[in-house]
């Protein structure tokens, strides 16, 4: 089922039809804050009132021109300013393919640099998301370069890649903040673990490494078993609760979110917004097939 959803996420005709369907938009609202920045800020204020931080992601990837990449950059610049002006406790996440990586590495770097410079002036932070493995080296090189210049940028490491331990160690050495996730792209067995048990085991090992050596790591998971092990390891090592945070996706496991906050842990929600929500939505279904049953129940109610 995971492979099917990832395949569907790349179908452009299906995407165009779904993103204009009122029914599909209503269903996607569980995971997406809305189409506009105002929608996202409204959700942000509510989340903050519950004691939760957020990171805003303007949906869109694999732009078709550098002009389109510049428009994405401008949306993010406006988003950072709006977060600051509205006194929302949050930052932003972006994808390099949305900032022009497929057309010009240098122009992409310049676009991201503008955003990070703005974040630095506002006392904020930018997270560069990790995409499929073909972008891993370029993503890390760009983040390391810009972190050396501005400081307020981090990235994401995916535990299903075999190379991830070496990447985490290098990022820890450079004091670059890491969000640890499992990964949501199809990758060949030569470079990625294919068994869930192996992905989970690597995740736990990387989580421990980040808690020991990382710069304010983000443990991004909805897996309660891993959350329990993270809490136990932090307690065993005497790691203060303000030295790391858990991260989850907007709209998933709200019961667990409330429990973590009540226990005094820091929690940040990844809150996407925008019209180009279809690929993101399909990857969330691929990551957690139980979400399909949620959608089915809602369809039956229509």
What distance lies between CA 20 and its chain's CA centroid?
24
Return all residues near 247 (Cβ < 8 A) that are at least 6 apart. 55, 179, 218, 219, 220, 221, 267, 268, 269, 270
Catalytic, out of 57, 129, 167, 200 = 129
What are the tokens at 249?
Answer: 């996706």
Residue linked to tokens 């067995």: 189
d(CA 82, CA 94): 16
Rounded-to-5 percentages of helix, strand, coil across the chain:
55, 15, 30
249 sits in which H/E element: strand 245-249
Q: Has 38 been annotated as catalytic? A: no
Residue linked to tokens 């790391």: 244
d(CA 147, CA 141): 10
Catalytic, out of 15, 118, 127, 179 = 179
Q: Has 179 been annotated as catalytic? A: yes
Dihedral class, residue 275 (left if φ above 0, else alpha if ψ from -120 to 50, else beta): alpha
d(CA 184, CA 1): 13
3-state secondary structure of 163: coil
DSSP for 187-246 reads --TTTB--SHHHHHHHHHHHHHHHHHH-SS-EEE---HHHHHHHHHHHHHHT--GGG-EE
Q: Contact 172/215 with Cβ under 8 angstroms?
A: yes
Would you name the residues annotated as active-site residues? 129, 179
């Amino acid at each position: 089922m995971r492979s099917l959803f990832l395949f569907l996420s790349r179908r452009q005709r299906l995407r165009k039809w779904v993103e204009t369907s009122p029914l599909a938009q209503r269903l996607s609202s569980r995971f997406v804050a809305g189409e506009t920045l105002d929608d996202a800020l409204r959700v942000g204020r509510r989340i903050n009132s519950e004691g939760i931080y957020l990171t805003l992601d303007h949906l869109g990837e694999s732009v078709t021109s550098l002009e389109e990449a510049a428009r994405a950059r401008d949306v993010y610049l406006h988003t950072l300013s709006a977060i600051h002006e509205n006194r929302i406790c949050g930052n932003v996440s972006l994808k390099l393919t949305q900032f022009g990586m497929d057309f010009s590495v240098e122009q992409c770097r310049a676009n991201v640099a503008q955003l990070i410079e703005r974040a630095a002036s506002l006392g904020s932070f930018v997270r560069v998301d990790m995409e499929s493995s073909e972008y891993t080296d370029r993503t890390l090189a760009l983040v390391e370069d810009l972190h050396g210049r501005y400081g307020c940028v981090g990235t994401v490491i995916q535990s299903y890649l075999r190379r991830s331990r070496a990447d985490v160690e290098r990022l820890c050495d450079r004091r670059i903040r890491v969000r640890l996730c499992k990964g949501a792209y199809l990758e060949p067995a030569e470079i990625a673990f294919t068994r869930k048990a192996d992905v989970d085991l690597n995740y736990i090992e990387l989580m421990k490494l980040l808690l020991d050596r990382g710069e304010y790591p983000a443990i991004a998971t909805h897996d309660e078993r891993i959350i329990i092990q993270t809490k136990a390891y932090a307690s065993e090592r005497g790691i203060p609760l303000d030295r790391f945070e858990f991260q989850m996706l907007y709209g998933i496991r709200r019961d667990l979110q409330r429990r973590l906050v009540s226990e005094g842990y820091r929690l940040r929600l990844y809150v996407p917004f925008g019209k180009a929500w279809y690929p993101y939505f399909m990857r969330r279904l691929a990551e957690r097939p139980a979400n399909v049953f949620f959608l089915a129940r809602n369809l039956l109610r229509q």
